[in-house]
Structure 1
Amino acid sequence: MRFSANALLFDSDETLVSSMKSVFRCWAQWADTHGITVEEIIAVEPHGRPAAAIVADLLPADQVARALALLEQAEVDDAAAGGVAPIPGAKELLASLPADRWAVVTSGTRRVAEARLAAAGVHAAHVITVDDVTRHKPDPEPFLTAARRLGVAPAECVAFEDSPAGLAAARAAGMTTVALTTTHKAADLDADVVVPDLAAVSARTSDTGVHVTITVCEGNAEAQNTDERNGTGLRQ
């Protein structure tokens, strides 16, 4: 499958950076410190949501600020200690893109996002975090903010995400969506295209935009099926 756009927007965790093990370690330790079970965390549907919103669902209001500070420091330290790695294909894809044609759009804080990206060897000129917006995924504001930062119309952007909340945000922004099955089954991801990871994606740039190729491997039913139903407004 091939299409063209003017900018590519990427979630960070489990889209560019393999961080799930780090997240589990930090949250499990944090939960134990605060007398919270992992099951209680899972019950508030944490993936793709800002940590502040999750913690606010779990603790009294007067404990949230300190608890968040402890969690953020733990996540920064874990990343610096080698707790994260790049998603397959991420560094190669990003290396083919000019800095002004892509951005990171994450629900994490700036400290955590920058720590994980740096530890994974991902160097982004434009990073939109929870600190830059007032409404968070699944609201479209984070993706719209990234498009505005790059000076590109939302309809001319492709968003790469792994979570239902992130995909909903990108769709609401009017963007084409590519889902990675790094954290969810393909059946749970409403996207124009579904791929295992970024190794299936390549790009080249020209004066007319970013030309993206998604490789449909033999037996990759998710990518084949979404390709057949793709009805985006981007240049095919």
Structure 2
Amino acid sequence: MTTRLPAAVLWDMDGTLVDTEPYWIAAETELVESFGGTWTHDDALQLVGTGLWESAAVFQRYGVELDADTIVATLTQRVREQLAEFGVPWRPGARELLGALREADVPTALVTMSVRSMAQDVVDAIPFPAFDLLVTGDEVGEPKPHPEPYLTAAKSLGVAIGDCVAFEDSPAGLTSAATAGAVTIGVPNILALDDAPHHLLWPTLDGRTADDVAAAFAGVRA
């Protein structure tokens, strides 16, 4: 390889590595409707990429009469149940690119606002040692779009955040990564990313290689 790879690649999970957003929307709809409320697709889109405890306050405003911790636990359990029942829905090319980066000895971290138990379910379904580190929503003081999750990942890996590439699918996630100082690559899923902070937008990860990541990193940091 003639182009230098980044010091680490940092991955969002829901919507970027795995297409679990439909699982979350189904869980949210069940929860709100169980308290007699209505939860629309547009309502759900407003929460994509944000912290679970911040989202809990929204559900309380929609009539869910539970404390925040119980809301988070309830939603997480329902998503985990769907993962067990229907399997892990990988985004196109994501697992293959992750594997290629690992073969190239690039350190990787999963930076997700899901809780560790659910993130571990996904990681355990990957048939190779995929991540050096998990940064999860129940272990950070400030969720995305705050830069803390990505700064925490870089610091824990012992690399400069400016030498990292971050893959994200949401405006909140891209804001978090970009504000932290990473090279940000948006991979749109259910939200448009044109107005979100990013260095590059890739329509898909399908067919992408470690060389593509190196070239993207070099193009931004040249």
TM-score grouping bracket, smaller chain normalisation:
0.7 to 0.9
Alignment: residue pair count: 214
Cα RMSD for the two superposed structures: 2.8
**1-side partners of 2:99 and 2:109: how far apart?**
13
Equivalent residue number for residue 111 of structure 1 = 117
Deviation, structure 1 residue 146: 0.5
**2-side partners of 1:174 and 1:108: how far apart?**
22
Instruction: Give TM-score scaled by structure 2 length.
Output: 0.84
Equivalent residue number for residue 179 of structure 2 = 172
Instruction: Give TM-score scaled by structure 1 length.
Output: 0.79
Equivalent residue number for residue 214 of structure 2 = 212
- Kept after mapping to 1: 8 A contact 2:15/2:21: yes
Equivalent residue number for residue 124 of structure 1 = 131
- Per-residue CA shift, 1:159-215, capped at 9, x if unaligned? 1101111111111111111000112224233311101221153105xxxxx96246x
- Per-residue CA shift, 1:33-86, capped at 9, x if unaligned? 133321398179211112221112221786333232222211111111125311
Label 1:9 to 1:26 Cα distance change in 2 as closer, same or farther (>3 A).
same
Identity of aligned residues (%): 31
**1-side partners of 2:199 and 2:17: how far apart?**
19
**2-side partners of 1:138 and 1:187: how far apart?**
16
Q: Which moved more, 1:178-187 or 1:54-63?
A: 54-63
**2-side partners of 1:184 and 1:81: how far apart?**
26
Label 1:128 to 1:30 Cα distance change in 2 as closer, same or farther (>3 A).
same
Unaligned 5+ segments in structure 2 are none
Greater strand fraction, Structure 1 or Structure 2: 1
**1-side partners of 2:65 and 2:53: how far apart?**
11
- Kept after mapping to 1: 8 A contact 2:51/2:113: yes
Amino acid paired to 1:88: P
List structure 1 segments (4+ residues) > 4 angstroms apart after TM superposition: 119-122
Alignment of 1:17 onto 2:26? no
Unaligned 5+ segments in structure 1 are 205-209, 215-226
